[in-house]
Amino acid sequence: MSDLVTSTTLVAVPAWNESGSVGTVIEKVSAVVPDARIVVINDGSTDNTEAVARAAGATTLSLPFNVGVGGAMRTAFLYARREGFTALVQVDADAQHDPQEIPRLLDALKKSDVVVGTRFHEGSAYVVRGPRRWAMSLLSWSLSRISGEKITDTTSGFRAAGPRAIDLFADAYPAEYLGDTVGSLTIAIREGLSISEVPVTMHYRRIGRPSKSALWSTLYLGRATLALLVQLLKRNRHALREPVS
Amino acid sequence: MTATVLAIITSVITLVFIIDLLRRGVLKEKYAVLWLGVAGTALILAIFPGLLNWITSTIGVEVPANLLFFVTIVVLVLVSVQLSYELSRHEAQIRRLAEEVALQEEEIRRIRRSLDSE
């Protein structure tokens, strides 16, 4: 891991009204990978997220209005491709991802195109129940089947992408509901990219994360399944491909 | 007879309204053509009610009104689907532009910074 080159690594932090935590996240990330460039994609925040991010030393890309995580991430992938980065690590602005794990994600990127930090592993404190758990199991079973690789955590936002994945996602990162997680994995699998997982620990702002209502969870299950089906049915994923200049 | 008059008046008003929208440049031609077709058909059927009866009996539908309602519903559903399609396309294009704005803004900031440092 000591031979890890991080000067061509972009750490992308999608942020929507996260002025309270984005500064700390940037500081922690730059302590772990000082050579990497950190870009905060300010997704139409109404607070001073952008100013806080810039003060902490990050580059900022400010979207004129809120487009969702999928759109924010595609902006990051476009930036990575145009600036010639060969690795992109996505870290959430709410401090639930531990930047200490970034080198491990980057290390796994040497062998595969997409690396997902999974919250499901032995000794993990992450537990989900009820319809949400069924939804996650269904998604992980389906994606594992179509990819032929074991994917346990399809909705983790802690990920890394290599050059081939950057090129693909700059054009085709989906903006639909759950597109940033399930949808992007489906696209990667269908384009023949390899995916691997690395166990990670998540920090939650509230201990024992309150379980949402049964109705909400059931809706989540339905929407997740629909999102998966839509992705599987899709054909023309390069409809808005960037013109070659 | 009053029903015929009512139908003719309604069709004519619709036609005039669409033509006016088109004249003022509010409605794009591709949408105007559709509505002109609908209003025109309605006007023809209003002037010649016998035409609807003839078509109905020719294709074997019992009540002329049912055929009219069926065709109307099919047309309206197709128009709604077409509008949803246009809306989805526009949302994707607007999002693409938003992303470009964010990237260009950063590019301008960087160029300005390098000019200042010269």
Q: Mean per-residue pLDDT for A6-20?
A: 93
pLDDT band at A117 (very low <50, low <70, confident <90, very high): very high
Chain A residues with CB under 8 Å of a chain B CB are: 41-42, 59-65, 67, 71, 74-75, 78-79, 82, 175, 239-240
CA distance A133 to A38: 33
In three-state form (DSSP H/G/I as H, E/B as E, the rest C), the secondary structure along chain A is CCCCCCCCEEEEEEECCCCCCHHHHHHHHHHHCCCCEEEEEEECCCCCHHHHHHHCCCEEEEECCCCHHHHHHHHHHHHHHHCCCCEEEECCCCCCECHHHHHHHHHHCCCCCEEEEECCCCCCCCCCCHHHHHHHHHHHHHHHHHHCCCCCCCCCCCEEECHHHHHHHHHHCCCCCCHHHHHHHHHHHHCCCCEEEEECCECCCCCCCCCCCHHHHHHHHHHHHHHHHHHHHCCCCCCCCCCCC
**Residues contacting residue B40 through CB under 8 Å, at least 6 positions apart:** B11, B15
Mutation target to probe the A interface, by most A beta carbons within 10 A, among B99, B101, B103 is: B99
Residue A190: what pLDDT? 86
Strands A87-90 and A159-161: antiparallel
Q: What is the pLDDT of residues A224-244, one digit of tens each?
A: 778 778 777 776 555 445 655
| Residues sharing a CB contact under 8 Å with residue A221, sequence separation 6 or more, in sequence order | A131, A132, A134, A135, A138
Name A49's Cβ contacts closer than 8 Å, sequence gap at least 6.
A15, A16, A17, A18, A19, A22, A40, A42, A93
Average pLDDT, chain B: 91
* CB-CB under 8 Å, A75 with B101: no
pLDDT (0 to 100) of residue A207 = 40
State pTM to two decimals. 0.83
Is B105 in Cβ contact with A61 (below 8 Å)?
yes
A187: pLDDT strictly greater than 50: yes
Q: What tokens does B36 get?
A: 């002109």
Tokens of A57: 């030393």
Nearest-CA neighbor of A149 among A178, A181, A189, A104? Answer: A189
Range 90-109 of B in CB contact (< 8 A) with A = 92-93, 95-96, 98-99, 101-103, 105-106
Residues A50-109: pLDDT tens digits? 999 999 999 999 999 999 999 999 999 999 999 999 999 999 998 889 999 999 999 999
Q: Which one of A41, A42, A61 would you mutate to disrupt binding with B, by most B Cβ within 10 Å of its Cβ?
A: A61
Cβ of A71 within 8 Å of Cβ of B98? The answer is yes
**pLDDT over threshold 80, residue A208:** no
- Please give the pLDDT value at position A21: 93
What confidence category does residue A176 fall into, taking pLDDT thresholds of 50, 70 and 90? confident
Alpha carbon A99 to its chain's center: 13
- Residue A47 — pLDDT band, cuts 50, 70, 90? very high
pLDDT at A245 over 60: no
- Best of A40, A50, A171, A240 to disrupt the B interface (most B CBs within 10 Å) is A240
Angstrom CA distances, A187 to A141, A181, B104, stand at 16, 10, 27
Q: A90 with A173: CB under 8 angstroms?
A: no
Q: Provide the pLDDT for residue A241.
A: 55
pLDDT higher than threshold 70 for residue B2: yes
- What average pLDDT does range A164-193 have in this prediction? 87
Put simply, whether B23 touches A (Cβ < 8 Å) is no
Model ipTM?
0.81
Chain B residue numbers touching A42 (CB-CB < 8 A): 102
CA distance B87 to chain A (A): 14
Dump pLDDT digits (tens) for A151-171.
Answer: 888 888 899 999 999 999 999
pLDDT at position B114: 93
The average pLDDT across B108-118 equals 92
The reply to whether residue B103 touches residue A75, judged by beta carbons under 8 angstroms, is yes
> How close is the nearest chain B Cα to the Cα of A184, in Å?
16
**A16-25, A216-225, B100-109 — which is least confidently predicted?**
A216-225
